Structure 1
């Protein structure tokens, strides 16, 4: 990746700017709609059997007040991704490359996170939720005269995720689909049914823009049939923007599609450019000198930017969470990848070590340090009080089991045979990915907590693709330590699916309790039973110190108010920042 500016240059810019009196502020906040009580998070009760929407597909939120932007091309700087046009070959952190030009069957309402129609106007399941039917909007045009979108395009897009080349999380879900052509039925040009081996409540999530889905983008069968070389050169979609091009290692750009978007979306900016910039300080410098108009920044650098007149744009839903996962946690009976010689998974001392690793961390201090107070403790990874399976007892047990107590942590490590004089070695595979500056800051902070209790922490810079491959393959590299990850909230039923062995793709903590719970969930559509099974999984993870959970927080982007007025997005899309038609230009 190209480093745009040196750190010393950044410091120089900050020093010069500190001599200039710049008011910290920005434009007034956009008028918000009247608040309404909408349950959008606990999905199992509302999407078990049937959800049919008969109204016309709406435009999410309000982009009707289109203005003339001060710049034609808005530039957004943030961390690295795996660069490709083939969305089925990468995971969600790389989906910034696709959201402007490609669309999903369902959308997320930008302010409430509710699932709403998009390409599909309605959807429903059969009685046991083993088959799901989606009905498409008629007359949706592909870019560049590639014809009208039909169910043939949906089927062709599905086939890409079922191919050998696919590595998406969606592919793991599709392993539960009936084999071959039995897995779907094209009813007509605008209705298609997906057939699963068992019951599932997850299809609405998988078909949507995010909040558990976001990977099932509907692409052109005509272009796929031409060969993927055409797709690599310029992928065809149906979004308000179309693919413009990319400079590998530097960035990607999109151009406003010709004509009126089929759903009436009216973005203010004619072009979007996203630059891949690894260094947090460099992204700040680019913003301050006008090389970008928005940047993904750590909270500390956000404050520096705000002192110099920049503004913060925040997701509508506080649904990101940060966790440090531990390699080697493969406790399913008969799993050949389980290695008892890995200290934190050993049958004799693993539980003590994992508890010590948790109790050594002052999460309140980290919330203040990393998030400047704008976060809340996460008591169990992926489990939020508004989601299914949450157990309030975790909060009651927290101080005793996980609460900050460095002396207790040191004693636990001593019982396991480790001390500052005889430390346990642990490697964190560090990477910078998309809008996740919090991960790198957390990783650095752990040195101060773990060294005094007898953990020799080594931090190795890597890339997200390398780390993802390592934990999915359960290879020796990942068993040397762990990795941090910022993840968007989604149904915990989906998380249980991903954690189950052997078909899941989560590959962090695996156990027979999880496998049994997932088998039970796959046989029922009863919300109470599903909730009970999900809670069993949560109890198993909590009691066994499955990982190092940190906190919940809202995604934030720092922007130049001279160019950008506001951005309304839920924060749970596959690309986290999304809804580019709601990125509003300053007047």
Structure 2
């Protein structure tokens, strides 16, 4: 079905087709979003999209549900794998009988090859830079896939997890649906898209043919409710079973007091950074970048957010990642020094900076606190607030000299450094990812660490890269926010939720509403 017909009616149905579960309760989820963005998993970059696609797709491997520990990566679509002694050739054996949603048949090695090539192509994926080392991927037979690397990578299995570029799609569905696939996708996961009503909800239906068993939840109603107050009221009125929470202490305390409610706080911590575009005014002047860095008060941000749910950002890589270092020369809070630097740069009366920002409530409220901090140091931040999907589009077009971006990635420094701080990832280039700063000064360190087989050498190079990027004030770390969702106590995930790389609870075949 093509969108143009459905859009004339004001809503569009996304065909799940084929065998679907006809029984089971409906899980009602409230998400802080105006609408869905892109649920082609290789373009799903916003939190609302990432949470949803994790219910629709699988990878060759996955993190064990409830964890983000690379040591607990386990089989998913692949039942087994092996690598050559030099780590440059990997062979994966696929499970037999895995079926796609609808009438798209059984998963084969051809779908895996197509998916990984798609993930590695900048025209068809937001995560192509992650796969730069992939020399070839081929189908040995219908159930066997072989990957050859040009060079070693810190964690190939990490790239192939059910996360970001590792998701596997149906080749036939992508080719048949074309651009419609971005909002009408086909995967192998426990749930399939039934229909999406713009600005209202995405309705999912259980995949009866799911290889791990038919889900106990029959449907998911994923409701777009951008207002925190409106979502909270709906949850209190028992109109929602699962609610995207706010990472602040007041919200948690208030929500925990609601009868029969559980508040889950879990990893990873999303690192919020002010990315400064060093290629355009005013941040092509390092004095102004340093002034802004001195104006930020991280301790105050943590007190505002809540010490149980946040922690100070200490580098341009999140805390706890393999390769993180706090020994990097991060500039301290010093408003007087900020004003002096502005005056030195020709702005004795302060400076006004226009920035595009999302209306997503949690990100907007955080930016408004930063806005107040900057004002104390003579920096007026003129916020141009737009819808979240529009924000993602515009910041990738160099329309904002300052970009507030909050993200979590696979917990190895290489991926964060490569996506946010490497020259290949500069927005507006053919290999763009999320380098909004246009910094490339640490490319050599990032590249050498990526191919090193000596972990101590890798750590040294990653630390050196962070020191270079901090010295150049490519970005200013703010705080790390743990993830928060509230649920009714009759919602049992089927596992203990300690972490989720999809940024939300995984709804699996074992999840149930008691």
TM-score (norm 1): 0.73
Larger Rg computed on CA atoms? 1
Aligned to 2:119: 161
Structure 2 residue aligned with 1:116, among 58, 61, 74? 74
Tell me if the contact between 2:268 and 2:408 (Cα under 8 Å) persists in the aligned partners. no
User: Deviation at 1:115?
Assistant: 1.5
Aligned to 1:83: 37
CA-to-aligned-CA distance 1:14-68 (integer Å, 9 cap, x gap):
xxxxxxxxxxxxxxxxxxxxxxxxxxxxxxxxxxxxxxxxxxxxxxxxxxxxxx9
* Higher normalized strand content (fraction of residues): 2
Aligned to 1:193: 146
User: Deviation at 1:553?
Assistant: 3.2
SS in 1 for 2:134: coil
Tell me if the contact between 2:410 and 2:501 (Cα under 8 Å) persists in the aligned partners. no
Give ranges in structure 1 of 5+ residues lacking alignment: 1-67, 330-337
Tell me if the contact between 2:118 and 2:125 (Cα under 8 Å) persists in the aligned partners. no
Structure 2 residue aligned with 1:248, among 198, 218, 226? 198
Partner Cα separation in structure 1 for residue 84 and residue 413 of structure 2: 22
Structure 1 residue aligned with 2:423, among 478, 484, 501? 501
SS in 1 for 2:445: helix
Aligned to 1:125: 83
Asked if 1:487 corresponds to 2:414, the answer is no
Change over 3 Å in CA distance of 1:432–1:107 after alignment to 2: farther
Aligned to 1:54: none
Asked if 1:360 corresponds to 2:268, the answer is no
Partner Cα separation in structure 2 for residue 542 and residue 232 of structure 1: 36
Structure 2 residue aligned with 1:430, among 329, 334, 357? 357
CA-to-aligned-CA distance 1:422-458 (integer Å, 9 cap, x gap):
221123322145xxx5322210112221112111111
Aligned to 2:378: 454
Partner Cα separation in structure 2 for residue 312 and residue 318 of structure 1: 19
User: Deviation at 1:176?
Assistant: 4.1
SS in 1 for 2:441: helix
Partner Cα separation in structure 1 for residue 182 and residue 370 of structure 2: 41
Change over 3 Å in CA distance of 1:523–1:305 after alignment to 2: closer
User: Deviation at 1:82?
Assistant: 4.6
Aligned to 1:98: 53
Change over 3 Å in CA distance of 1:489–1:363 after alignment to 2: farther
Partner Cα separation in structure 1 for residue 477 and residue 400 of structure 2: 18
Give ranges in structure 2 of 5+ residues lacking alignment: 1-22, 425-430
Tell me if the contact between 1:571 and 1:578 (Cα under 8 Å) persists in the aligned partners. no
Aligned to 1:277: 225
What pairs up with 1:396-435 in 2 under 5 angstroms?
401-402=331-332, 404-419=333-348, 422-432=349-359
Aligned to 1:343: 282
Structure 2 residue aligned with 1:149, among 107, 127, 137? 107
Tell me if the contact between 2:315 and 2:326 (Cα under 8 Å) persists in the aligned partners. no
SS in 2 for 1:528: helix
Change over 3 Å in CA distance of 1:516–1:230 after alignment to 2: closer
Structure 2 residue aligned with 1:375, among 292, 306, 310? 310
User: Deviation at 1:512?
Assistant: 4.5
SS in 2 for 1:103: coil
**Aligned-pair RMSD on alpha carbons?**
3.0
Partner Cα separation in structure 2 for residue 310 and residue 494 of structure 1: 40
Change over 3 Å in CA distance of 1:141–1:364 after alignment to 2: same
SS in 1 for 2:194: strand
Tell me if the contact between 1:426 and 1:458 (Cα under 8 Å) persists in the aligned partners. yes
Higher alpha-carbon deviation: 273-282 or 566-575: 566-575
Partner Cα separation in structure 2 for residue 134 and residue 570 of structure 1: 28
Aligned to 1:58: none
Partner Cα separation in structure 2 for residue 101 and residue 390 of structure 1: 32
Partner Cα separation in structure 2 for residue 276 and residue 226 of structure 1: 28
What pairs up with 1:2-41 in 2 under 5 angstroms?
none
Structure 2 residue aligned with 1:297, among 245, 251, 260? 245
Partner Cα separation in structure 2 for residue 253 and residue 316 of structure 1: 26
SS in 2 for 1:559: strand
Change over 3 Å in CA distance of 1:492–1:119 after alignment to 2: same
Tell me if the contact between 1:488 and 1:572 (Cα under 8 Å) persists in the aligned partners. no
Tell me if the contact between 1:73 and 1:271 (Cα under 8 Å) persists in the aligned partners. yes
Tell me if the contact between 2:60 and 2:161 (Cα under 8 Å) persists in the aligned partners. yes
Partner Cα separation in structure 1 for residue 29 and residue 391 of structure 2: 28
Aligned to 1:65: none
Aligned to 1:519: 447
Partner Cα separation in structure 2 for residue 357 and residue 230 of structure 1: 42
CA-to-aligned-CA distance 1:275-299 (integer Å, 9 cap, x gap):
1222222211221223322222322
User: Deviation at 1:225?
Assistant: 4.8
Change over 3 Å in CA distance of 1:292–1:91 after alignment to 2: same
Partner Cα separation in structure 1 for residue 195 and residue 264 of structure 2: 28
Tell me if the contact between 1:356 and 1:412 (Cα under 8 Å) persists in the aligned partners. yes
Change over 3 Å in CA distance of 1:230–1:459 after alignment to 2: closer
Partner Cα separation in structure 2 for residue 258 and residue 383 of structure 1: 39
Asked if 1:387 corresponds to 2:341, the answer is no
SS in 1 for 2:283: helix
Aligned to 2:256: 306
